[in-house]
Structure 1
């Protein structure tokens, strides 16, 4: 009996020990850690793109020092600052391209951008009586015109991203810098068989401020909507002979732009 009891105990002990021995031989399953979250979008980098929109504005022609009816006669000059036209509106299409770079620091984005656009913006108005020029009369049928042919700006940008309800792929920014444009000014007499006209074309400079919103689509692409106000320095024109008879020369011209445009950018670096 004693031998039978000891044999049974040995068998039980052997049975209890076997699973542990087999378990020690099994490979431990490998559990991979969860993948890291995707990196947050960054606006840092350089980009190129295209934009298009509408360009509106206002212009005024007025007298300056020495303004007379051409050809220069013995008539006294007009008073400085008298309106040759009232303020008139300009409108047209604008489209072109831009190139820039951004640097992101936290939620702030600093950048520089240059753009060049073609435009067909123009406007015109009938001239006023200009009673300050003796012998001028009512100036019936005379029209002054301002046209803009192209626009170039070089600007800085300051933006904010990932704030309030805006995520890291949305950038709200302000912008400002210098502006240059090809501007044509002309004066002509309408309603007559012989066209009397005078035109001058020059590159003029000024400044611009504005702002916009840009959204990153992914894979380097982003879309934007932007507004720019452009103020050109007042400039004198019609100062070089030969002159068409009976035009008011020289004259001062005031011009400002209001530009709304949409754009598409690709961040290539």
Structure 2
């Protein structure tokens, strides 16, 4: 009898273990590892850069009613600030303000007129600068298409040479005009940006009194500029929420 009872208890324990193994586990499965979302680049921030390119200038002289094409180079720098927003019902809108200044290299041209008299006029410019507002659209992740326009600054130097002007008088006038253009910025990294741009510049019709001919001369200066730039950007390189660890 004793052996029978022991055998019954043993069989019951074995059956209970088997049933417990078949029951679903109440232990929670491990949570999947948190993967933060990919950061999104933003154009917001302060930037500086260097620029250079070609300055294809047209100078028209009222005294002789003639024009002169001057091809020169530009080397300078720029500074600006961009703000990227989704306001005004436009997503990825970029609004900015930029200033730049460049030295004009070359473009010193002259021509001779007044029959056989050796009488020449030489034109040149020394600098070009502008303050412009920018309006752009971040069409792709790191490409910005924009238009820009504002106030342009420059100078125009006129020097006369000839038999009637032994002292070769020189006249230099500073100019203020306007500019408009368009370009493409591309961010190769979160902080380094490349640019290509076209600008049209009109420095107006500045006048001065010519003591050689005793008349008021007027010179109209317009320019087509093609520029490239390398830019370094500060500010938060990405627009993303802070990552909060969850356990």
TM-score (norm 2): 0.81
State the aligned residue count.
226
CA contact (8 A) 1:86 1:128 kept: no
CA contact (8 A) 1:158 1:175 kept: yes
CA contact (8 A) 2:41 2:142 kept: yes
Q: Secondary structure at the match of 1:219?
A: coil
Q: Which residue of 1 aligns with 2:152?
A: 179
TM-score (norm 1): 0.74
Q: Which residue of 1 aligns with 2:191?
A: 220
Provide, for residues 56-102 of structure 1, a one-character-per-residue CA deviation record: whole Å limited to 9, x for no partner.
11111113xxxxxxxxxxxxxxxxxxxx1521101111011101011
Residue number among 72, 75, 88 corresponding to 1:95 in the alignment: 75
CA contact (8 A) 1:120 1:147 kept: no
Q: Trace 1:1-269 onto structure 2 (pairs within 5 A).
A: 3=5, 6-7=8-9, 9-17=11-19, 19=21, 30-63=30-63, 84-105=64-85, 106-126=91-111, 128-129=113-114, 138=115, 140-162=117-139, 167-189=140-162, 197-237=168-208, 239=209, 243-244=211-212, 247=213, 249-269=215-235
Provide, for residues 107-166 of structure 1, a one-character-per-residue CA deviation record: whole Å limited to 9, x for no partner.
21111000011112435353555xxxxxxxx3633222221101110000010113xxxx
Structure 2: any 5+ residue segments left out of the alignment? 86-90, 236-247
Moved over 6 A (4+): none
Structure 1: any 5+ residue segments left out of the alignment? 64-83, 130-137
- Structure 2 CA distance for aligned equivalents of residues 103 and 114 of structure 1: 16
- Structure 1 CA distance for aligned equivalents of residues 54 and 169 of structure 2: 28
